[in-house]
């Protein structure tokens, strides 16, 4: 029995296999950051393997029942357990230097977690996480595949993504309906793109919101009519690499500045 009653609304699926927990913790490179944040420690199966590390670790858990259990199980880090919503908590408040993030993510909000990581990419140097295998594959998808989408382009722009291993349903209480996977993301050395990055996010999102349309149609509102014949816009978003999206952004930016 789990010491905390799993709550579906919080995406709680507690990992029961310590070997897998150790393997996830062991997937951190340990390089380039001196602070670690665990998202959703739950009952602490992964936490146990993080506390021994020399890094400073902060734990953010939204569930008060889990947080109370963690405080009693790990009194030595009681002041590092933050009972709050990761999506709302300002990361800069924890540490203003490079951090790594680790967690067996609540699958129902994994995309929102990634958007928050992207917003904080100046701080987040590395991520090791477990999530639905389908989402892991999508994030790691190359251009030209059906699963390549907004998060693949945005995350791959700033991070090198490695698909590490799959995890079956039976090692969780309760078992999730889907297979899981663990990935590692390491921020690229040069993580500033050579373009207007606010516009870049907008172009990627706008193009994929109508992913079956040619860019000429999906990006219509960002273009001017002289661009109708430009062959660049006869493509669909999944055909564009990260570099293509950067070039496209530079081009669109030049249209707006030239009037």
Q: Which residues bind ligand SAH (CB under 6 A)?
A: 10-15, 39-43, 45-46, 60-63, 66, 85-87, 104, 106, 109
Determine whether 236 is exposed, middle or buried from the number of CB atoms within 10 Å of its CB (0-12, 13-18, 19+).
Answer: middle
DSSP element (H, E) containing 171: none
At closest approach, how far in Å is the CB of 14 from ligand SAH?
A: 4
Question: What are the backbone angles phi and psi of residue 25, rounded to the nearest 5°?
Answer: -60, -35
At closest approach, how far in Å is the CB of 166 from ligand SAH?
A: 16
At closest approach, how far in Å is the CB of 163 from ligand SAH?
A: 19
CB-nearest residue to ligand SAH: 40
Q: Which two tokens stand for residue 184?
A: 């590692």
Q: Which residue lies nearer to ligand SAH by CB, 4 or 215? A: 4
Q: Which residue lies nearer to ligand SAH by CB, 100 or 246? A: 100
DSSP element (H, E) containing 49: helix 47-51
At closest approach, how far in Å is the CB of 88 from ligand SAH?
A: 8
At closest approach, how far in Å is the CB of 56 from ligand SAH?
A: 19
Q: At what angle do helices 110-119 and 150-158 cross, to 10 degrees?
A: 40
Beta-bridged to residue 127, according to DSSP, are 101, 185
Q: Which residue lies nearer to ligand SAH by CB, 112 or 145? A: 112
Q: Which residue lies nearer to ligand SAH by CB, 45 or 215? A: 45
Q: Which residue lies nearer to ligand SAH by CB, 59 or 158? A: 59
Largest CA-CA distance found in the chain, in angstroms, rounded: 66
213 vs 75, 116, 235, 248, CA distance in Å?
Answer: 55, 28, 8, 16
């Amino acid at each position: 029995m789990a010491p905390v009653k799993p709550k579906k609304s919080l995406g709680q699926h507690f990992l029961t296999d310590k070997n897998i927990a150790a393997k996830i913790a062991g997937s951190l490179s340990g390089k380039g950051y001196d602070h670690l944040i665990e998202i959703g420690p739950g009952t602490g199966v992964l936490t146990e393997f993080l506390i021994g590390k020399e890094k400073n670790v902060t734990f953010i858990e939204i569930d008060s029942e889990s947080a109370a259990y963690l405080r009693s199980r790990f009194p030595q880090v009681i002041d590092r357990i933050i009972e709050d919503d990761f999506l709302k908590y300002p990361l800069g408040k924890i540490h203003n230097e490079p951090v790594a993030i680790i967690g067996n993510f609540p699958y129902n909000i994994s995309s929102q977690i990634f958007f928050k990581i992207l917003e904080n990419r100046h701080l987040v140097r590395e991520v090791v996480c477990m999530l639905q295998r389908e989402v892991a594959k999508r994030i790691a998808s190359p251009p030209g595949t059906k699963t390549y989408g907004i998060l693949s382009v945005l995350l791959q722009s700033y991070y090198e993504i490695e698909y590490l291993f799959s995890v079956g349903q039976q090692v969780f209480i309760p078992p999730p309906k889907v297979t899981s996977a663990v990935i590692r993301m390491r921020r690229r050395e040069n993580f500033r793109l050579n373009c207007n990055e606010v516009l870049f996010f907008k172009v990627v999102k706008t193009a994929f919101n109508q992913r079956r349309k040619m860019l000429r149609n999906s990006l219509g509102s960002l273009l001017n009519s002289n661009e109708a014949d430009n062959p660049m816009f006869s493509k669909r978003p999944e055909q564009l690499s990260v570099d293509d999206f950067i070039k496209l952004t530079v081009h669109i930016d030049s249209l707006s500045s030239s009037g």
